[in-house]
């Protein structure tokens, strides 16, 4: 996370699913040291994590279209 924050800046809030990768003591301690509010959303309920879920959906669609377009260009 240090590398990411070095590139993009430190966030005020980290929103994550309530899964094991974000429930560790390391993440909790890191957020406390960096004064980052860690908001955990309800797992298996995409509506609780609306904005990030929508971003991922849009990104997947964009990448799928981009790959399809690239494949079309390479076959023509």
- Determine the distance from the C-alpha atom of residue 28 to the mean position of all C-alpha atoms in its chain, rounded to a whole number: 17
Q: Which DSSP category does 43 fall into?
A: T
Q: Which neighbouring-strand residues pair with 19? A: none
Task: Sketch the domain layout of the chain as residue ranges.
Answer: 1-43, 45-75
Q: pLDDT tens-digit profile of 35-65? A: 999 998 877 776 777 777 788 889 999 999 8
Distances (CA, A) of 55 to 48, 60, 62: 14, 9, 10
Give the pLDDT mean for 14-43.
Answer: 88
pTM: 0.55
């Amino acid at each position: 996370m240090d590398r990411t924050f070095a590139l993009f800046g430190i966030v005020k809030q980290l929103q994550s699913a309530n899964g094991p990768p974000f429930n560790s003591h390391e993440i909790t301690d890191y957020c406390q040291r960096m004064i980052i509010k860690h908001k955990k959303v309800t797992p298996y309920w995409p509506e609780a994590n609306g904005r990030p879920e929508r971003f991922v959906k849009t990104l997947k669609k964009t990448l799928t279209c981009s790959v399809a377009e690239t494949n079309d260009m390479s076959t023509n």
